[in-house]
Amino acid sequence: MKTLKFGGTSLANANKFIQVSSIILNQVKNDQIAVVLSAPANITNQLEKIIQKYTFNHIVPIEIFINIKKFFLQLIDDINIIHDKYPINKIKKKITLKFKQLNNLLDHIQTLNYCPDKIYAQIISMGEILSAYIMKAILETLGNKVTLLDPVKLLLANNNYINAVVDIHKSKKRFKKLKIYKQDIIIMPGFIAGNQFNELVVLGRNGSDYSATLLSICTNSHICEIWTDVNGIYTSDPNTISTARPLSEITYQEALELAYLGAKVIHPASIKPLQYYNIPCTIKNTNNCNHPGTLITNQNKNNSDIIKGITYLSNMILIKIYSIKNIQIANISNKILKYLSDKNISVYLLHQSLSSNTISFYVHKNNTLNIKKKIKKILNKEIQKKLIESIIEIKNLNIISIVGNNIKKYNVKIIKKICLSLEKFNNKIFEISYNISNISLSIVLHTNNIINIIKKIHDFIINKTIPINIFLIGIGGVGSELLKIILEQRDKLEKKFIQLNVNVIANSTKYITNKTNINLNNWTHEFAVSKKNFYLKKILILVKKYGYLNPVLIDCTASQDIANEYNSIIKSGFNIITANKKSNSSLLLDYLSVHQIANKYDKKFLYETHVGAGLPIIDNLKNLIKSGDHLIKFQGILSGSMSCIFGQLDDDITISDATKQAQKLGFTEPNPKDDLSGIDVARKLLILAREFGYSIELTDIKIEKILPKHFETINNKKKFLLQLKKLNNQFTEKVNYAKCKNKVLRYVGTIKGNGSCSVRIKEVDNNSPLYHIKNGENIFVFYTKYYQPIPLIIRGYGAGNKVTASGIFSDLLRIIL
């Protein structure tokens, strides 16, 4: 025998009823099948709403009543379209009869002027009874024999009409007396049982899962299958946490803890009896029958996943009782627990402290009205005798729980990660609590941001994914190239659990944004049509709003204004990666301030591309210095354009032609005058020197001017190139003079051990590593304490959008180191 339970989500319409009938018939071939059915989705809620509305307004909301009836009549009409032999008239009569009964019950509560629990149970269980009739008729239409069981007569429960508990032993005996033919399919409406007076009682909301457990035990099923609308038990609710994943196996204890602490995929009451009778349970998806689902057993086979899931309960109320005499603590807790258990109110995180003489616990808002008042009433005697100092109530709390075997072993790591996840949300942890069986760890928070927090903790703790949230400003050559690299590399990194999310793309006038991720296949179009005006402060606040874990602002502009804001950007929670040399080559005080603020706020400030574009210079230097090295002397060709121009001079090309050619190849700034002025090389040299700890300003660097003074006033590019021709002869002479000595001219940046820096044209012979550097290549020659007399040399292309973007990308991965 096998028991299958189909929840409301599996019975939402005619097609789903038919789908469920096929699942049942598929299984009938191998086993005798017992089926538990819920009410179609939302029907119980609607029935409950009728009662609630009546209780508040004393008027029966007739429109809800009519809608429910309409739903069932439409349902069987639709089934009849699919199966034309469906006994529609017979079922219609049943439905009409049921609604007459419902009408009578509603009349009854109007006469009484309130709704007793007994009637409440009869009303809200109607959906289950109709589901069972409707399904029975479908299976019979398809030529099967069906036995319909009456849970009121078979499942003996206590006298609680709303949250009844079933006596399994006695119910089992009743089942033994039943005669069911082997070929029959058994159907039983879920959610319902009967008390000793044969009155209908219900098993609590979501109680059909419990019915499935009871039927599995009473029919000696070898397995209980719970069919729902998701692929099993997930690491968190998949309908709110998109990155949650289904668990293939889980123990009863873990399932119970997840269910109790908020995973509503299975009712907690259904698990313990299954464990006691050792009946395995699978949670399966009606909409995806071939998915294996989650198997719940006694064994914890897959030990690799220690943490099984994250759940949450919102709208929780904390009750804290301060008592004076600690001898009273046990008495008071007993009284409270008895009351809550009688009322079937679940209690969470109950603590009693003998040192502070307090008892505290949480209950769900929906479970009880005015809980504080009720507790006061129960403890009236103690209050009168002044044994209780005060009772406080705090509402709107959330309990987030991490569930997994032996969780205490990992508590430090877990709590650290939770704290990191919460950091961005400015939420204080109210309480941290373990359950006694060492299977869950709960934290209590007061927040309106619960879903985002759960998402963060889930990704961090379960998926172990490290997100990097990117805000890119500047979408010229480098910025655009960077977005291409991110798009290319993203999937590969995702496999290594690094998630690159681009959340903002901006230029100096406008921006686009997406809370999760901008679609990089379409960003240019989205950007073109965007009407959002760029305003730095507007985008900075997004970090706190969305609680990004590793936000990074990438500055691909050349803007002094943006560079001036680095301190406030870091204070807003960002790491910074910059290709904009303006900040590091500014005044020493400003340079130091950004570095200090980054340090103070524990943020990364990275600028690998400031020197040598994509070449690995800065990071290597930092590592060398950390390991105790220091500079003796540096020499290098730090500019792609100067490397290209001076390299051509070797081949007797004039300086003006060489400059034009370098411009054509894309090595120069828009106006090549900016390259030949030497200032760009000086800025890079300044950044390098500061990296070695020299406290210098840009003005301390001696720049040998290539251009005569009158060039300073020529700003027009064409005019500049024409004027440059006038320098051709002078340069040819210099080149030839060097050639006589078997030397070439190079534009060289130098840092001496005492920190003095210069940028100038140098003659170098072929013993120098600089001799062969041309065609845009850069070279960096470091003579250090560790690297001498043979220096550390790094050479390669030091300019171009692609290599610069790749340098920024390597910084991006350093964010999470």
Q: Is 207 in the site for ligand ASP (CB under 6 A)?
A: yes
- Per DSSP, 278 falls in state T
Q: Kindly state the smallest distance separating residue 315's Cβ from ligand ASP, in Å.
A: 18
**Cβ 778 vs Cβ 796: under 8 Å:** yes
How many Å apart are CA 142 and CA 505, to the nearest integer? Answer: 59
Minimum CB separation of residue 462 from ligand ADP in Å reads 11
Provide, rounded to whole angstroms, the least separation between the CB of residue 213 and ligand ASP. 12
Q: For residues 192 and 543, which CB has a smaller minimum distance to ligand ADP in the complex?
A: 192
Answer whether 200's CB lies under 8 Å from 150's CB: no
Query: Is residue 39 within the footprint of ligand ASP (CB under 6 A)?
Result: yes
Size of the site for ligand ADP (CB under 6 A): 20
User: Which listed range, 201-209, 250-258, 290-298, 624-632, lies at the site for ligand ASP (CB under 6 A)?
Assistant: 201-209
Of 649, 650, 667, which Cα lies nearest the Cα of 658?
649
Instruction: Cite the DSSP H helix spans in 33-167.
Output: 43-57, 62-82, 88-112, 117-124, 126-141, 151-154
Regarding 229 and contact with ligand ADP (CB under 6 A), the answer is: yes
Is residue 807 part of the contact set for ligand ASP (CB under 6 A)?
A: no
Least distance (Å) between residue 259 CB and ligand ASP: 12
| Residue 308 among the catalytic residues | no
Separation in Å, CA 162 to CA 54, 126, 201, 443: 18, 14, 6, 30
Instruction: Tell me how far, at minimum, the Cβ of 25 lies from ligand ADP, in Å.
Output: 20
Nearer to ligand ASP, 258 or 745 (CB): 258
Q: Are 492 and 812 in contact (CB under 8 A)?
A: no
Residues 275-334 within binding reach of ligand ADP (CB under 6 A)? 309
What is the closest distance, in whole angstroms, from the C-beta atom of residue 250 to Mg ion in the complex? 17
Instruction: Give the helix ranges, DSSP H, for 250-354.
Output: 252-260, 271-276, 327-342
CA dihedral (539, 540, 542, 546) positive or negative:
positive
Q: Which of 5, 94, 455, 684 is catalytic?
A: 684
Q: List the interface residues with ligand ADP, window 197-226 (CB under 6 A).
A: 206
**Which residue, among 98, 156, 107, 103, has the nearest Cα to 128 in the 3D structure?**
98
Per CB under 6 A, which region of 173-181, 204-212, 237-245, 399-407 contacts ligand ASP? 204-212
Tokens linked to 217: 């035990």
Closest CA to 358 of 338, 314, 328: 328
Q: Which residue is nearest to ligand ADP (CB)?
A: 7
Contact indicator for 235, 294 with CB cutoff of 8 Å: no
- Alpha-carbon Rg for the chain, nearest whole angstrom, is 38
* Measured distance CA(70)–CA(68) in Å, rounded: 5
Least distance from ligand ASP to the Cβ atom of residue 7, Å: 6
Please identify which residue in 212, 233, 662, 803 interacts with ligand ADP, judged by CB under 6 A: 233
Per CB under 6 A, 228 contacts ligand ADP? yes
Q: Can residue 131 be called a binding residue for ligand ASP (CB under 6 A)? A: no
68: contact with ligand ASP by CB under 6 A: no
Could you say which of 92, 205, 320, 705 contacts ligand ASP (CB under 6 A)? 205
Q: Which does 44 bind (CB under 5 to 8 A by kind): Mg ion, ligand ASP, ligand ADP, none?
A: ligand ASP
* Residues 239, 202, 268: CA angle, nearest 5 degrees: 45
Other beta carbons less than 10 A from residue 715's beta carbon:
9
744 near ligand ADP, rule: CB under 6 A: no
Q: Which of the choices ligand ADP, Mg ion, ligand ASP, none does residue 265 contact, using the CB cut-off of 5 to 8 A by kind?
A: ligand ADP
Binding site for Mg ion (CB under 5 A): 7, 206
How far apart CA 432 and CA 427 sit, in angstroms, is 14
Q: Provide, rounded to whole angstroms, the least separation between the CB of residue 71 and ligand ADP.
A: 16
Contact partner at residue 309 from Mg ion, ligand ASP, ligand ADP, none, CB < 5 to 8 Å by partner kind: ligand ADP
Contact in structure between 799 and 473 (CB atoms under 8 Å)? no
Size of interface with ligand ASP, in residues (CB under 6 A): 13
Cα–Cα dist 126/99, whole Å: 9
The catalytic site residues sit at: 684
Give the residues lining the site for ligand ASP (CB under 6 A): 7-8, 38-39, 44, 127, 190-191, 205-209
Give the residues lining the site for ligand ADP (CB under 6 A): 7-10, 38, 206, 228-230, 233-234, 236-239, 258, 263-265, 309
